[in-house]
Amino acid sequence: MISDFQGKTAVLTGAGSGFGLECARIGAKLGMNLVLVDVQQDALDKAQAELEAAGAPVLARQVDVSSADQMEALAQAVQQRFGAPHFVFNNAGVGSGGLVWENSVKDWEWVLGVNVWGVIHGVRLFTPMMLAAAKADPAYRGHIVNTASMAGLLTPPNMGIYNVSKHAVVSLSETLYQDLKLVTDQVGASVLCPYFVPTGISQSHRNKPAGLADEKPTQSQLIGQAMSDKAVSSGKVTAAQVAEMVFHAMRHDQFYIYSHPKALGNAQSRFDAIVAGTNPPDPFAERPEIGEGLRQALRAG
């Protein structure tokens, strides 16, 4: 149980928008020190100005989370300014769609770099700092939250590259939870699995690295982008509500955090098929018109 956030330090990647920014806003209200990390400088500057105006001590860093060197420099800067963090939100993520064989090597490197390596770097760099702080102080309590997705528990078609990255984050987070339980009672872990929530994720292409942004999207990628835009923008659960769920989970040492628990029916169907050894179920069983529309659009090309 974690009840006291006053004066504690939180590292938040992807802090310029979405869940990262909303968690930072809650942190500011609770009197926390905030380390804001984002690749987009203008969004980072805006977040820093807002949270400093709210009274929070802020360290802001423009970082590409896929870069080991940049993340190592970040960890050193955090240690020098605030010491070991109490909370780490490995939240930065990008979205990408399309038929799985149509993604280029650069696509794979970009999405896996941010979504998987970004979380790996956050875990490998900050966990040892947190464990050292826990060893030095029996009163220390820490928690790591990795942002995955319901796509980390499901395998919806036409977004394989994203599914792969988020399944990796779920696996990494579950293992992190188990590994921490072996060595300490003072540091916990959670995985956030949001479904369609209005954030900047569907506009990830705004931060594509040079070279990748020049690639012409395939028909399936354009269709995937349009479907993602529609689903994300029409989401009824807000990023602020999800951030509240995250803090509730940290307070109560809850591992799985779901924005849309009803979507777990699809996860149940998937696991039932795995256990039974049957073929993967139709992901559009509840909304067959969406599946039919997608099939027709892809076959029309």
Place 66 in a pLDDT band, splitting at 50, 70 and 90: very high
Active site annotation includes 162:
yes
CATH topology of domain 9-263: Rossmann fold (3.40.50)
The model's pTM is: 0.92
CA 297 to chain centre: 30
Which among 175, 212, 12 is positioned nearest to 92, based on CA atoms? 12
In a 3-state reduction of DSSP, which class is residue 36? strand
Place 3 in a pLDDT band, splitting at 50, 70 and 90: confident
Give 211's Cβ-side CA count (13 Å radius). Answer: 7
Q: Going by C-beta distance under 8 Å and a sequence separation of 6 or more, which residues neighbour residue 157? A: 283, 294
- Of 222 and 55, which is predicted with more confidence? 55
Q: Which of 140, 162, 195, 258 is catalytic?
A: 162
Give 52's Cβ-side CA count (13 Å radius). Answer: 11
User: Starting from the edge strand earliest in sequence, which strands make up the sheet with 187-193, in order?
Assistant: 58-62, 33-38, 9-13, 87-90, 142-147, 187-193, 256-258
Place 278 in a pLDDT band, splitting at 50, 70 and 90: very high
Quickly list DSSP for 186-249: SEEEEEEE--S--SSGGGGGGGPPTTTTTSPPPHHHHHHHHHHHHHHHT-SS-HHHHHHHHHHH
Q: Where are the domains of the chain?
A: 9-263
pLDDT at residue 233, rounded to an integer: 63
pLDDT at residue 287, rounded to an integer: 81
Mean pLDDT computed over every residue of the chain: 91
pLDDT at residue 285, rounded to an integer: 83
Over residues 46-70, the mean pLDDT reads 97
Neighbours of 291 (CB within 10 A): 15
